[in-house]
Structure 1
């Protein structure tokens, strides 16, 4: 019995020294909170589609050779009407009445072929007799070719107001 007693004391001392290293109370070590990890996602905003280009409105010549005569245009949802203006604005004459097909998307350039409305132009002395006319829009400038008295010129216009 004497021999087992020192072994028992050594075993108890060893157990006493190693047990605190293996276990701890909640007071001595912080307890991890059991919170689920949820990745925060910010919804990607849906881009607002841009409105189609609108050329509707009033336009005026920017490259007239005269300060007292020019052309003006009025574009509606379906038509384009171009008028010669002279005598500083006191005299007007129809040059073109035709179709307008608006663009279907947001763009900075656009072209269309306008069909002549001969019901309006056939009795107008200064009107074009062409069956169709090509119009081009590029970054704020409307352009087309106008002919009168055997001279053809590219007319450029910008929106008024």
Structure 2
């Protein structure tokens, strides 16, 4: 490789590191604000499935405990995969947070929990994606929940089907 190409590659790496730091600081601020103001809120959702019927989790999900009016997390479950995105600018901007496996429930027992394995082919190139190998998702009472951590701050995100 030429010196010019090596310099260009190094500059791109430095830019990605700086951009990742900036975005993590911004997102951790939103998460911290959400954690501070979410205390005391409860979710009164009722499950949508009949007794004895496994819930259908396939579809679009949106965060219900974000206190930012123009930013939240959203998920899509299709087939045997789940993708979770950071959404901002009232939905105009999306960044991948998680892409992984999904195991549909086979009973109506709640809570239902599955361990999603990271699809690193998708997340390795996404600046705001989780680097975890697995992520635990829980479904109960019409809500999917999971933990999100950024810069030492952890928040439980709650999603409802749209």
- TM-score bin, normalised by smaller chain: 0.5 to 0.7
Equivalent position SS for 2:121: helix
TM-score, normalization by structure 1: 0.66
Q: CA deviation at 1:116?
A: 0.3
Matched, 1:103 2:98: no
Tell me, which stretches of 5 or more residues in structure 2 are unaligned? 1-50
Q: CA deviation at 1:54?
A: 1.6
For residues 1-161 of structure 1, the aligned pairs below 5 Å read: 50-160=52-162
Which of the pair is proportionally richer in helix?
2
Q: Deviations along 1:30-54, whole A, 9 cap, x unmatched?
A: xxxxxxxxxxxxxxxxxxx944322
Aligned length: 112
Q: CA deviation at 1:90?
A: 1.0
TM-score, normalization by structure 2: 0.66
Other-structure match for 1:17: none
**Structure 1 ranges of 4+ moved more than 3 A:** none
RMSD between aligned alpha carbons? 1.4
Tell me, which stretches of 5 or more residues in structure 1 are unaligned? 1-48
